[in-house]
Structure 1
């Protein structure tokens, strides 16, 4: 009886151990990978597979998850490095790089310190790219410089399974002597522009004055031309009247002028004395007769 109990107990222990072993195997064979990570699996010390997000199955005790790699985008700390432009100006460039790991199997087996490697690579590329440009180009073409740096960094880190998502030049600083020289140059440029503006204003004022004088001369000439046309028209009318009416029309005009002259003499203040010859009195008399005859 005791032997049967011992046999039963032994059998139960075996089943329990088998169940525990089975549970352990299942737990070790099933790997649930978060969305933001990838697992690098080794078998006998060699790369076997890379597990993506979700449920994955491996061979227990043979396959081991050696590396858990985050695939989220990362930002390197702001880096500052000195560089010399093509016109021999020393500048200090502050850069920032964003990247993410796309192929963990390359990253874990080809590079030890990813951040330090990328920082060193970026520093060398920044110095090389700035060395191709003058200071003015560095200041004005920052977007172009940033694009060139990003492309160069992408080529350099491609073997590490890394994607550079963004590269930014935060600031370009100059030493004190260069800043002072640039400030003096800026002040000189402002003074030059002020002088040019003043000269252009003076030139414009002279042009406007000349245009005004020309306009006045044109208007005066136009008035004289109109007056001359009027006089010519009046002369033409008189000539046509003489042509149509003969000598009487001419005598009528002379008589009219004589009467107008007499009226002008009579319009004085009454103190002057007018002496006329007898022939003039006869002429005025004839003129009055012609005017009287002409008004009938």
Structure 2
């Protein structure tokens, strides 16, 4: 059938058809549509020619060819577990995970063969080196700083491969059973020590408060005694001043008046029918009367 078609076209028609087919083939080989998530590495005679980005791209047919199609999506390395020894000689198992993406595929395809394996080996070496600089307690408490340090060092190591490390994680830090038991004993001992310190602090505080209370009581008693002494001294001074000014007779007169008032108070009490008068009451009344008469 093809021979019948070619025979019907004649010599000129065959040439035209061949040219048309050649043009179609050139268009097919020369136009490359690259997806958004990929980049194409183009070679010419086995050497790097260019890198095609997303969209429509034109290359030279029969001379250029797409040698590599590289995904630029973020990738995650399989979780890796490696042994490491801390600064205080504790064996731990570190479970890590790394996320990366290829940003310069022309470097990746020509400088490294196994990207995932190379990055995993680099991460393992960096993790072991960093763990050897820190004690176990520092690893547990400064995990975020350790992750940041690992990420920065991995980025520097893979920079020549055209790779960007987007995230690094330490998923788990596992200890052997003997180390766990030792840490548990240490934790219990530390708790007991803190409890003992707390009890001692409480007892010391109680003694201090008791001493302060006794000191306060002693000060208050001393202050009361001082006030009483001041009052007695003041009363003595008043009496002495009165004697100096009014003489002994004035004092006797005041005493007699006080005795009269006391007898009057006793007489005014309820149910008091009998009044007991002291033997010297009459003399007191007489003296008071004489003094009063003398004053008048």
TM-score bucket of the superposed structures, by smaller chain = 0.7 to 0.9
Tell me the number of residue pairs that the alignment of Structure 1 and Structure 2 aligns.
287
What's 1:285 paired with?
Answer: 285
How far the C-alpha of 1:26 sits from its partner, in A, is: 1.8
Give the equivalent residue in structure 2 for 1:112.
113
Contact 2:91/2:175, CA 8 A, preserved across alignment: yes
Q: Does 1:37 align with 2:38?
A: yes
Question: C-alpha offsets along residues 213-264 of structure 1, whole Å, 9 cap, x if unaligned?
Answer: 2233333333334444444444454455445545454334443565688799
The answer to whether the 8 A contact 1:255-1:291 is kept is no
TM-score, with normalisation over the residues of structure 1?
Answer: 0.83
CA distance 1:263–1:154, change in 2 (3 Å) = farther
Rounded to whole Å, the distance in 1 between the matches of 2:290 and 2:18 is 160
Deviations 1:186-212 (A, max 9, x none): 111111111111111111222222222
Pair 253,29 (structure 1): closer, same or farther in 2 beyond 3 Å: farther
Q: Unaligned 5+ residue runs, structure 1?
A: none
Aligned counterparts of 1:36 and 1:290: Cα–Cα separation in 2:
134
Residue 95 of structure 1: SS of its match in structure 2? strand
Which residue matches 2:3?
none
Mapped partners of 2:124, 2:98: distance in 1: 11
SS in 1 for 2:62: coil
CA distance change for structure 1 residues 256 and 70 in 2, over 3 Å: closer, same or farther?
Answer: farther
Q: How big is the shift at 1:137? A: 1.5
What per-residue deviation string (whole Å, max 9, x for no partner) do you get for residues 155-175 of structure 1?
111111111111111111111
Stretch of structure 1 that moved more, 236-245 or 143-152? 236-245
Correspondence 1:55-204 to 2 at 5 A: 55-204=56-205
The superposition leaves residues 12-36 of structure 1 with CA deviations (integer Å, 9 ceiling, x where unpaired) of: 3333332232122122222222221
- 1:61 partner SS: coil
Separation of aligned partners in 1, 2:290 and 2:110? 134
Give the direction of change, closer, same or farther, for the CA distance of 1:94–1:253 in structure 2 (3 Å limit).
Answer: farther
Q: CA deviation at 1:51?
A: 1.1
Superposition TM-score, scaled by structure 2 size: 0.83
Contact 2:88–2:136 (CA<8 Å) still a contact in 1? yes
